[in-house]
A = this chain, B = another copy of it.
Amino acid sequence: MNVVGMIVEYNPLHNGHVYHFAEAKRLTKADAVIAVMSGDFLQRGEPAIVDKWARAEMALHLGADLVLELPIAYAAQPAEWFAYGAVALLEATGVATHLCFGSEAGALEALQPFAERLADDGGALKAAVAEELATGASFPAAYAAAAARLLAGSGAAAAARALLEQPNNSLGLHYLIALRRLHSGIAPVTVRRRAAGYNDAAPTDARIASATAVRRLIAGGGLDAAAPYLPPYTAGILAREFAAGRGPVTWENLAAPLFHQLLLASPEQLRACHEMTEGLEYRIKKALPRLEKPTVSELLAKLKTKRYTHTKLQRTLLHALLLHPQGLLAPEALAEGPGYLRVLAFSKRGQELLKQMKQLAKLPIVTRAAELDHPQLTLDIRAAAAYANAMPARRADQLFREYRQPPLRV
């Protein structure tokens, strides 16, 4: 039985995801699909527009058979650790046979040679990235340049650089590297991203828009404006969640608690947070009194330099908001991989997968948050509570939903 894994955020699930999903099933002849999905906070350091339960429901409608939560320890991290955590989760299911990801390249042959060279570099890549960063380059640029340097001998340096500066190629490369590092038997497959670039702010096609564009349409003109780019179930679920006051959630909904934390913390306390590196704690403390408005977007704008990407800054603020200590998210800890398989949703076929997984999985399967005591799971529960506390309508039943909510089923 072919089981394809996909690593997703569905923020929200749109027509581009529908296309990718169909292609993944077609290319891998998959009988079942496992979606590894970020929880309430995403790789770019943002809260999701609606919570993980609503987005897992969208995934079920799409046809996913099993939705696993990528722990926030990996979900809100740079590509390297995001990919490592997600691939390790798939590998730990014991049942995934394929991994399908979108990329600008659209062909594995373009990425695989770089993965071979970069997977076991013995620290040379890391050192090269650090050198590039020291010149003031942003992380993606530094990564691409460092990879190009390491590949210089192969005559593919310029190609590598061009390739890796595209975000989905870069993420795809990290999936490939993670598969190698984990000695995984999962077969990678890539689908060329259609129509909309990851970061495109405006729709570029009559039916396909990036998730970023979809969220902007919703922010500007409500759900109706975004409807052409969404499958009907997404529009329905979003409408229901918004009506219940559970969304949309943006960084600005978290402004009051974030500012509270930043105002109270000393630079030393801020420095104890994950990703608070190279004096960013002082930069934050200096930026606060210079703001015109106490909004997260203005704080981010004031913090921005060539050196720090918007994404890096958002993630740093997220770790400060959630008081993520460095130790738990240090490379040594992350290299041990996720500690559990948290089930958010499953279909009938997913139920069969879960039965198989009871024999084959390499990690405990968690269907209720209270079942397991694990530091990564504690971070997930805390993140969900902080997210619920920032919903437009604060409700007590949402703050502790994690403990009561069984997996969603169809």
In the complex, the count of this chain's copies comes to 2
Give CA–CA (A100, B389) in the complex, Å: 45
The 3 A-B pairs at the shortest CB distance, nearest first, are namely: A257-B260, A263-B385, A291-B396
Task: Give 17 CB contacts A-B under 8 Å.
Answer: A255-B394, A256-B257, A256-B390, A256-B394, A257-B261, A259-B394, A259-B399, A260-B261, A260-B389, A263-B382, A263-B385, A263-B386, A264-B386, A289-B403, A292-B396, A293-B396, A294-B399
Contact A394 B294 (CB under 8 A): yes
Q: How far is the CB of A125 from chain B (nearest CB, A)?
A: 35
Give CA–CA (A289, B264) in the complex, Å: 26
Which chain A residues in 264-312 approach chain B with CB under 8 Å? 264, 288-289, 291-294
Give CA–CA (A386, B403) in the complex, Å: 31
Give CA–CA (A259, B263) in the complex, Å: 17
Contact B386 A260 (CB under 8 A): yes
What interface size band does chain A fall in? 20 to 34
Q: How far is the CB of A401 from chain B (nearest CB, A)?
A: 10
Which residues of A come within 8 Å of B, CB atoms?
255-257, 259-261, 263-264, 288-289, 291-294, 322-323, 382, 385-386, 389-390, 394-396, 399-400, 403
Given contacts A264-B385, A294-B394, 5 further A-B contacts (CB under 8 A): A255-B394, A256-B389, A256-B390, A259-B394, A293-B396
In the complex, what residues of B have CB within 8 A of residue A403's CB? 289
Q: Known contacts A263-B382, A386-B263, A386-B264: does B288 contact A400 (CB below 8 Å)? A: yes
Contact B260 A294 (CB under 8 A): no
Give CA–CA (A331, B313) in the complex, Å: 41
Contact B294 A395 (CB under 8 A): yes
In the complex, what residues of B have CB within 8 A of residue A396's CB? 291-294
Which of A260, A399, A400 has its CB near the most chain B CB atoms (within 10 A)?
Answer: A260
Give CA–CA (A259, B399) in the complex, Å: 9
Contact B289 A389 (CB under 8 A): no
In the complex, what residues of B have CB within 8 A of residue A322's CB? 264
Give CA–CA (A109, B245) in the complex, Å: 60
In the complex, what residues of B have CB within 8 A of residue A389's CB? 256, 259-260, 263, 294
In the complex, what residues of B have CB within 8 A of residue A291's CB? 396, 399
Give CA–CA (A178, B347) in the complex, Å: 71
Q: How far is the CB of A340 from chain B (nearest CB, A)?
A: 19
Please name the residue on chain B nearest to A323 by beta carbon: B264
Q: How far is the CB of A385 from chain B (nearest CB, A)?
A: 4
Give CA–CA (A288, B237) in the complex, Å: 28
In the complex, what residues of B have CB within 8 A of residue A255's CB? 394
Give CA–CA (A295, B255) in the complex, Å: 19
Q: How far is the CB of A383 from chain B (nearest CB, A)?
A: 9
Please name the residue on chain B nearest to A324 by beta carbon: B264
